Structure formats: structure tokens, C-alpha cells
Amino acid sequence: MNRKKFIKTSFAMAALGLTSSSLFLESCTKSNPQPGNGTVNFTLDLSKPANSALNKSGGSVITHNIIVINTNGSFKALSDICTHQGCSVNYNKNSNNIICPCHGGAFDLNGSVLGGPPPSSLKKYSVTKSGNILTITG
């Protein structure tokens, strides 16, 4: 291989390497999603089987990326997207906390961070009840 061809090939390989490594690093960057930036307005019918867990204290349902929890007859609605890396959170009836299974983040029923890596609280939504219908807005 002559010198000119060697230099061209070397520069092409270097450019390819830089492009590949920047794509690789881009895919590994940590994102802090800001869930729930949009507004929501939907209803849940408590007489429907899909929502029956909400008829007893400690019951919860996840829908529209929102976790709705029955807390002794009143209802809490929070984003179900962890503010750390966007994993879906779950309600733990025994600890009365919301837990992120991905990295151990924990939130109270107001969405405030109790521990772990989440940088901010879960977004809260308003819940009103009229008969068997819950309306979640925010």
C-alpha cells in the first residue's frame, strides 16, 4: 500500500470510529425525563372490573401513565413515571409508598422523594369523585 492510500484509509477509519463512538456515547447518556408535562383529563368508572381495585383502601390502578391509589376512601393520582430514568413505579400497600423497581427510588403518597436516585417529585394530579366516577385532571 502506498503512503497516500494509507493516509486516506487511516483518516476514513478514524472518522468512522469517531462517528460510531459518538453514537454509542449518545445512547448511554442519562436522561432526566420530565414526565407529565402535558395535561390530563380522564375518568375512571369504579363499577368497571378494570378499576375494581380502587374500591378498597390500598387498591391501585395504573392508567394513562398515572397511578391512582385509594387511601382510606380518598384518592391520590401521581405520574407513574420515575423522575430518575423514566421507569414505571408501583404502589407498595405494605409500606404505603411508591417504589421504582429499576434503581430503588421511593416516593410518599404526595409524590415527594423519600430515597434513592430520583432528582424530583412525581407530578400530582387532582382527583374528584362523583358517584362511581373518578375524574383525574392536571
Q: What is the pLDDT of residues 24-54, one digit of tens each?
A: 333 333 333 344 456 899 999 999 999 999 9
Cα–Cα distances (Å) from 34 to 6, 14, 48, 50, 104, in that order, read 49, 37, 31, 28, 18
**96 close to 110: Cβ distance less than 8 angstroms:** no
Residue-wise pLDDT tens digits, 50-86: 999 999 999 999 999 999 999 999 999 999 999 999 9
The domain limits of the chain are 1-30, 41-137
3-state helix, strand, coil in the chain (%, to 5): 25, 35, 45
**pTM of the entire predicted model:** 0.72
Dist. CA 100–CA 80, nearest whole Å: 9
Question: Cβ of 126: how many Cβ atoms within 10 Å?
Answer: 12
Percent of the chain with pLDDT over 90: 72
The CATH homologous superfamily to which domain 41-137 belongs is Rieske [2Fe-2S] iron-sulphur domain (2.102.10.10)
**103 close to 85: Cβ distance less than 8 angstroms:** yes
Q: Which run of H or E residues covers position 15?
A: helix 3-28
Cα–Cα distances (Å) from 4 to 1, 7, 10, 16, in that order, read 8, 5, 10, 19
